[in-house]
Amino acid sequence: MPWPAEAIADADDVAVHIEHGGVVIDSREPLRYAGKVEPIDAVAGHIPGAINMPFTDNLADGQWLGAPQLAERFARLDMDPQAIVYCGSGVTACHNALAVESAGRPLPRVRVRRPTAPARLRRLLVGLVKRPPTTSSHRRDIGLTAELLKKFLAPGLQIPQARTESRR
């Protein structure tokens, strides 16, 4: 099953979006955005014109911020209801996409690298659900992330059930 076109953006979409003054959000940590550290991607740094809004800023004490705080965090998207989010693999971009939607704004597109993304997403999803969560909130976050990845990036992708036991 092909991915829904309205949920994704490729490199060309990102370039055109930036050219037209659109908002593109890099969801990674600031050191990766700045190109000082790069443990995954072949090229360090960020897409020129992208802004850095780390996905971790959607959380406080390991819990999602409330809708009002998320709305304030993503207020700059008022000027661009068609924003694009990205990261290296798509995982943290999905976190930001969910936060934007939770803030009451239109769901942004997620930039993915189409040739390798389906296999890579499956590995990420399987890894998420195979690792036992350490707390009930961690278990909930793993489930939310897995469902978000499945919903927006790979509809129809089959993933195993999450383990429910916690590590002590």
Two structure tokens written together for 99? 């936060």
Two structure tokens written together for 21? 């003054």
Mark whether 94 is an active-site residue.
Answer: no
Read off φ and ψ for residue 80, nearest 5 degrees. Answer: -145, 90
Any idea how long the chain is?
168
Pure H helices in 22-135? 30-33, 67-73, 91-102, 117-130
Residue tagged active-site, from 14, 53, 83, 87? 87
In sequence order, the β-bridge partners of residue 63 are 60
Long-range residue pairs from 128-135, CB within 8 A, at least 24 positions apart, any chain: 128/162, 129/159, 129/160, 129/161, 129/162, 129/163, 130/160, 130/163, 131/163, 132/163, 132/165, 132/166, 132/167, 133/162, 133/163, 133/166, 133/167, 134/166, 134/167, 135/166
Active site residues: 87
